[in-house]
Amino acid sequence: MKQRPQRLQAGDTVGIIAPASPISRERLAMALPVLERLGLRYVLADSVVDGDAHYLAKSDEVRVEELHAMFKNPEIKAIICARGGYGTGRLLDKIDYPLIEDNPKIFWGYSDITALHTVFNEYANLVTFHGDMLGDMAREDFSEVSERMFLQLMQPWELFYDNTKSPLQTVSPGVARGELAGGNLTLLASTIGSKYEIDTRGKLLVLEDIEESPLRVDRMLNQLRLARKFENIAGIIIGDFKYSQRLAPQDSTFDAVFNDYFSELGVPVVKGFNIGHCEPHFALPLGVDAILNADERTLMILPGVE
């Protein structure tokens, strides 16, 4: 069983890091009041407010040092990522995983941060959280529903998802219990063939992505299939797949792609979850047990904090 981090309390300090791309000062200023409303204090890593003017917030070495420093600091009770973008995959062979396992704390983010969720779950034995980052909090459409998802960090809630939250559809029937894993499909595919690839055996695999056409999603799912990532899997939770119409082949849809890969898989598969680059965004802990009921179209998730 993976380590659940300690819950947050009002007045606790969280560390903000940018392990991927930088966030603008304007968006940062718009997002920080959300943390204040939650009763949290914060400390910003240098790269968050002084990021380089390109797709990486800082060098790999600086971003890893800041990540390690936040885990080492006993005053920091949780780590929240500023945004995704690109860059976390470059850090995987530079991280001190025993350090993280010895200093378990809340780690929160999604999208490009998926690479860190996978390795923290598997190499640091740590439950992590797939949820909105500061870049999302700065959006005009950031909702009260999404903000409330942070409250799961302050008390050990069981989470429940059904059709009242979004229209769900069964792709493959059945009921299964397993550990939640996964996240952004592009990031999962990018590590196939490396020692950092995801272990899906017995897992409930969460999949989401943005700005990828059905053709590209097909290619990445085929990559996971050829890597045997759908063998011995417990089930699949299909989140949001947001894309530009200009990227979509006229004769292909996501429904057809998901049916091709999953309708005969023999394990429960449900699509339509508001998980990913969407609003509202249902944040969830990765590394905890959950029950996916594709017949009743429900998902029950154990708490992510102690």
Cα dihedral 128, 131, 134, 137 in deg (nearest 10) = -160
Alpha-carbon gap, residue 205 to 86, rounded angstroms: 22
| 3-state SS assignment for residue 7 | coil
Peptide bond before residue 280 is cis, with ω within 30 degrees of 0: yes
Tell me the C-alpha distance between 232 and 259, whole Å: 19
What residues are labeled active site?
Answer: 111, 208, 277
Q: What is the DSSP letter of 285?
A: E
* Cα atoms in the Cβ-side hemisphere of radius 13 Å centred on 118: 31
Nearest-angstrom CA–CA distance, 15 and 177: 33
Report the 3 state secondary structure along 131-175.
CCCHHHHCCCCCCHHHHHHHHHHCCCCCEEECCCCCCCEEEECCE
- Give the neighbor-by-neighbor strand order of the sheet with 175-184: 159-161, 298-301, 289-293, 175-184, 203-210, 235-242, 269-271, 169-172
Decide: 179 and 299 in contact? Cβ < 8 Å: no
User: What's the CA gap between 224 and 230, in Å, rounded?
Assistant: 7
- CA-CA-CA-CA torsion sign (190, 192, 196, 200): positive
Tokens encoding 65 = 């040092």
